[in-house]
Structure 1
Amino acid sequence: MPRSVLSGSINSPKVDLIVDLGNPFLNLTFDGFLKIGTVAAAKVAAEEAYYVVKRGSLSHHNFEQTLKKMCKEGAYWGTVAGVYVGLEYGVERIRGTRDWKNAMFGGALTGAVISAASNNGRDKIVTDAIAGGAIATAAEFLNYLT
């Protein structure tokens, strides 16, 4: 019996904005901030577009609130990403090797730093560090699968 196989690949467009701050640490941190901040702003825009369609109208006030929310979410997500990328790079430089452990340490440190900056208690800081390390490690392992 004849068999047929469907194969192919989907390529996404690659958009890079190169800003050279003169230091690899700063370059990576800023790049992470911009890319993930843009993703967060796009997420808010998509959510708000859904609600506009659902309501059937868009007011000037709603549009202004959407822009503010996009900036706030973009700045928050971008900051977290910038801290993570910078810490992971720092861990890599200190350890002198590139592996999944850098993601784990970078994620744990990011979770702790962001939690501490939010004035959370000690238990919350520890659990956020554990969550950050777990999420970053899982993301790193997923990268190995592709």
Structure 2
Amino acid sequence: MPRTGIAKVNVVVDTGNPLLDRTVDGFFKIGTVAATRAAAEDVYHIAKKGSLSTKNVEESLKKMCKEGAYWGTIAGVYTGLEYGVARVRGTNDWKNAMIGGALTGALVSVVTKGSNDKIVMDTLTGAAVATAAEFISYVRY
């Protein structure tokens, strides 16, 4: 089955450094998705409530920025780590995604002051999600 979409936007980031390019690209792509999700959620709640105010709009914009920055940062860290792992290992395979995901999960957990058990669980979750996403990207419809 052919893939179709509503719109496709390609933005090229060229800082002259491949690591930085991938990190910034990941930040923008996933940050945009997170901000859009936050906006859609707020539109639903505002529509359900039946009234729109300046306060609603202001809170929604703050939430969009916060969510976009948070998830964009995580995506940027992940893509940068995955690229770095590939460069260190000298190969490009699914293991880079697994290691990058594990390192990202651990890093996010440590920064958010998780307990030892939470750090381990976040490391495993990061590795599992990144590896699954890598395998899914090879599936053809």
TM-score past 0.5 threshold: yes
Structure 2, unmatched stretches of 5+, are none
What is the CA distance between 1:42 and its match in structure 2? 0.3
The percent of aligned pairs where both chains have the same amino acid is 61
Secondary structure at the aligned position of 1:132 is classed as helix
Larger Rg computed on CA atoms: 1
Aligned length: 139
1:77 and 1:43 mapped to 2: Cα distance?
A: 11
RMSD: 1.0
1:83 and 1:104 mapped to 2: Cα distance?
A: 14
What is the CA distance between 1:11 and its match in structure 2? 2.1
1:10 and 1:136 mapped to 2: Cα distance?
A: 23
Q: List 4+ stretches of structure 1 deviating above 3 A.
A: none
1:91 maps to: 85
Give the alignment partner of residue 31 of structure 2, picking from 37, 57, 65: 37
Matches within 5 A, 1:1-146: 8-12=1-5, 13-146=7-140
What is the CA distance between 1:67 and its match in structure 2? 0.3
1:41-66, Cα deviation, whole Å (9 max, x unpaired)? 00011111111111111111111000
Secondary structure at the aligned position of 1:19 is classed as coil
2:78 and 2:51 mapped to 1: Cα distance?
A: 39
Secondary structure at the aligned position of 1:16 is classed as coil
Structure 1, unmatched stretches of 5+, are 1-7
The two structures have a TM-score, normalised by structure 1, of 0.92
2:13 and 2:3 mapped to 1: Cα distance?
A: 28
What is the CA distance between 1:9 and its match in structure 2? 2.1
What is the CA distance between 1:14 and its match in structure 2? 2.4
The two structures have a TM-score, normalised by structure 2, of 0.95
